[in-house]
Structure 1
Amino acid sequence: MPSAAERARTLVEGNPSAVLVIPGLDPVLPGQMVPEMRSVGPEGDVFLLFPADSPAVRAATHAEADELTAVLEITDVAPVSVPHRIRGRAWIAGWLTPVRDEPVVPGTALLRLEVGEASVDDLWGAEQVEPDEFADATADPLAAHESELLQHLAAAHEDQVGWLCGLVGGYGGRGAECAGTRTAVPVALDRFGLRVRFTDPDGSFDARFDFPEPVRGHEELHHAMHTLFDAARASADDLHGA
């Protein structure tokens, strides 16, 4: 499974929505605290791009002795239609300072968030992340395209995803439940595997399907998905044959 630090880096560098919270800042419109871009530097600092007249930029510019504390709050929502769409949250807390030596688009300003502590609470669970762990981690290689990949699986491979319920027997003995499932929607994808949410009139549950080996790109993902679907189809054929 991905480490907590990797999951936090993936959320910071990926597509989820994010808002910067500065304790004590006068109330502002929520949209004014949403960075236009964000990235992570080689030392683990988080860089945030804001309009030059943003309250965040003004607060960082006028702070004394670089002691402005801030928290980047990230919310990850599944890009497919499923019950309980929020997949996870992350919090990156630290000290905010303006970056004056990097060129930016006119009318914008770059801020640096030096990480003091981080945490993640997602489909894997809740964990703390140390700053050095966050700096050393890398984002999941599929994160940039996860949304479109999940939407493609849900729209074009609905039957194949449904076959996966035949492999659910090892997940808490839910094989019998899965047989009566109405829908099966891929809800998360990373280099280690695929998570599917199965829903029937009685509720829903997630099942995780691991790839034989972690994948590093689209070609390896294509092979891994076909291997997974073939195993599910073979399981279904065995069941019908029995």
Structure 2
Amino acid sequence: MPSAAERTRTLVQSTCSAVLIIPGLNGAGAQQLVPDERTVDADGDILLVFPADSPAVRAARYAQDDELSAVLEITDVAPVSVPHRIRGRGWVSGWLTRVPGRAVPGRGTVRLEVGEASVDDLWGADSVEPEEFAAAVPDPLAEHEAELLQHLHAAHSAEVQRLCGLLGERGDAATGAGTAAVPVALDRFGLRVRFTGVRCFDARFDFPEPVSGMTGLRRAVHTLFDAAAS
């Protein structure tokens, strides 16, 4: 399974919605604190790009070291229609400073130096140390996960449904009228499917080995489908 640091790093560098929470900053609407861009630099600090007149940029303009604390909150929502669509949340807290000269005109960049992080997702709840976050890499499939899940759901729903045959007796609850199988998460280690109906539960289908790109992913998914069809 992916480590907590990898899962958190994947959330930070994904397109999931995020908001920067700055304690004591009054009068700022939540939308004003949604960064336009998020990246992680070589030191493991998070760089956030906002409009130049954003409250976050103004607050960080003269901040130094640990003067201004902040929390980046990320919410991960499944890109397919499924019950309980929120797949997880991540929090990265630390200290905010301005980064001059990094953004295009009309934009400002702030640096969030990571003090601690945590994630609560389909794998469970875990905390992450700054060193672990800096050393982790995002999942290689994260950039394309949404379109891949949507494709599996739209074009291969029958094959996904047949995966219940790999669950043994547990798969009996995923068959019959009114049941559906929705691919809800995908990473280099495997595919997670949510079976809905009288009972709603998730099942994890591991790949024979971790994949690093699209070619390996296609082989791994077809191996799962072939096993379910045999």
Distance 2:122 2:68 in 1: 32
Task: Tell me the residue number matched to 1:215.
Answer: 211
Distance 2:161 2:65 in 1: 57
Contact 1:7 1:139 (C-alpha < 8 Å) held by counterparts: yes
**TM superposition shift of 1:29:** 1.5
SS state at 2:61 partner: helix
Distance 1:225 1:39 in 2: 30
Deviations 1:128-174 (A, max 9, x none): 000000000000000000000000000000111011010112xxx51
Task: Tell me the residue number matched to 1:81.
Answer: 81
Matched, 1:190 2:191: no
Contact 2:62 2:98 (C-alpha < 8 Å) held by counterparts: no
Counterpart of 1:227 (choices 197, 206, 223) is 223
Task: Tell me the residue number matched to 1:154.
Answer: 153
SS state at 1:174 partner: helix
Within 5 A, what are the aligned runs for 1:121-140?
A: 121-140=120-139
Deviations 1:62-86 (A, max 9, x none): 4365510000000000000000000
Matched, 1:57 2:53: no
| Identical-residue share of aligned pairs (%) | 67
Alignment coverage as a number of residue pairs: 229
**TM superposition shift of 1:182:** 1.3
Distance 2:167 2:56 in 1: 48
Please, what TM-score do these two structures have when normalized by structure 2? 0.97
Distance 1:25 1:84 in 2: 32
**TM superposition shift of 1:27:** 2.8
Contact 2:74 2:91 (C-alpha < 8 Å) held by counterparts: yes
5+ residue gaps, structure 1, are: 235-242
5+ residue gaps, structure 2, are: none
Amino acid in structure 1 at the alignment position of 2:10: T
Task: Tell me the residue number matched to 1:95.
Answer: 95
Contact 1:168 1:178 (C-alpha < 8 Å) held by counterparts: no
SS state at 1:224 partner: helix
Contact 2:192 2:203 (C-alpha < 8 Å) held by counterparts: yes
